[in-house]
Chains A and B, each alone.
Chain A
């Protein structure tokens, strides 16, 4: 009887091993869950921030002047009527809302504006326009809002 007991580990050691294993597995599980939760939180937070910024970003194209300030130029004015500062990242122009082309970066003679809440801004780019034609202009904001405007040249 005594011999059989001596072949195994003592109850104290066994208990220590079990507790150690429990602690290790427990910490590992907790760390894994914590890490996953942190990753998910970060992704969700970024998604939320993106959605919130999209909802708070609002701007309008207030006017377009063709051949201004000089022939072959187009000047577009914006106004930020939203709740977050933004900037215009892309502008498209064309003679119909379904066929507009992106204005190349190199065509801007005045850079795309950053719009503080409640303020106006403008940009100028070179583009050949024909008098009498109606031009559609699409502006895309930093947070994804799209504004479409049209005016006769």
Chain B
């Protein structure tokens, strides 16, 4: 009997273990596994959403388009030129008064108009247009907002093609008087000593003029010794003109300039920027200080008694980098008063 009881006792221990294992198994493979799968699924959802958002940001960054206007039958329409690598869809257009900022009209485009890369399209029903500056704002399907104006202001390149390839920077037009006539070897004054070009005193000796110019053409320009600055009186009873020829400035010292306008004789170069003619080449400051004629450094004065208003002309002469002749009178850059 004892023996049988002991055997039964030993078997009993196995039952609890199996039940416990069953519960453990049930907990792990029902609650634990389900929770694990749920967490994994949610992480996957978040991961997928993050990827989608990055993808949307990336696609939006690829969108490149220009907005302008076109007029037809007295109506102004938004015109969109897709300059990017991906197709865009235009979903909304706004028209705003470009002068006052007053809102004119908005037009949801439904369904959106898709524009393939390299093509342009006219969008929407437009607005009645007679004149004035209009700001056109366009929204793409990916949420990019680009605006443009109608009519377009002339670009620098268009302006340069109309008045000449070299443009001056007005604020750089200044003068200085050395009070001696021969400027050969003279050191340029410090920046603070240069005076504004708006007025100059008669009777001052040794005047040197300077101005900064930018070349908006595709080719470099080399100036020759005949380039000059002239003052033409507009308030004198008799025609009066004074001239200052171009001089060479090397290491801030003034020398006569004998350039023939070629790349090989160290002529003054006004560089172009073929990659971005609208921006132009590096600005170059040119100096005029020779009243005796080309290739000299004698700078004389505007005599006393010749006070009045003068127009300033700068005539640049030389050659293009391809050897063809170049000449340009910069637009009367300024009118000065001789006092």
Contact = CB atoms under 8 A, between A and B. Distances in A.
Interface of A: 11, 15, 18-19, 22-23, 26-27, 29-30, 33-34, 37, 40-41, 44-45, 48, 51-52, 55-56, 58-60, 62-63, 65-68, 75, 77, 79, 81-83, 118-120, 152-153
Interface in B10-24: 12, 15-16, 19-20, 23
Nearest to A65: B103
B46 A58 contact: no
Contacts of B34: 37
A-B interface, 5 closest residue pairs, ranked by CB to CB distance from nearest: A81-B143, A65-B103, A26-B23, A48-B42, A55-B49
Interface string B80-97: 000000000001101010
A88 B49 CA distance: 21
17 contacts: A11-B9, A18-B12, A29-B23, A29-B27, A40-B35, A48-B45, A48-B46, A52-B46, A55-B46, A56-B53, A59-B143, A62-B139, A63-B137, A67-B102, A77-B94, A79-B91, A81-B142
A62 B145 contact: yes
B91 A118 contact: yes
Interface residues of B, number: 43
A23 B39 CA distance: 29
A68 B106 CA distance: 12
A60 B16 contact: no
B189 interface: no
Nearest to A35: B31
A67 B92 CA distance: 21
A56 B31 CA distance: 30
A11 B212 CA distance: 113
Chain B: interface secondary structure? helix
A120 B108 contact: yes
Interface of B: 5, 8-9, 12, 15-16, 19-20, 23, 26-27, 30-32, 34-35, 38-39, 42-43, 45-46, 49-50, 52-53, 56, 60, 91-92, 94, 96, 101-103, 106, 108, 137, 139, 141-143, 145
A30 B53 CA distance: 40
Contacts of B91: 79, 118, 120
A152 B96 CA distance: 13
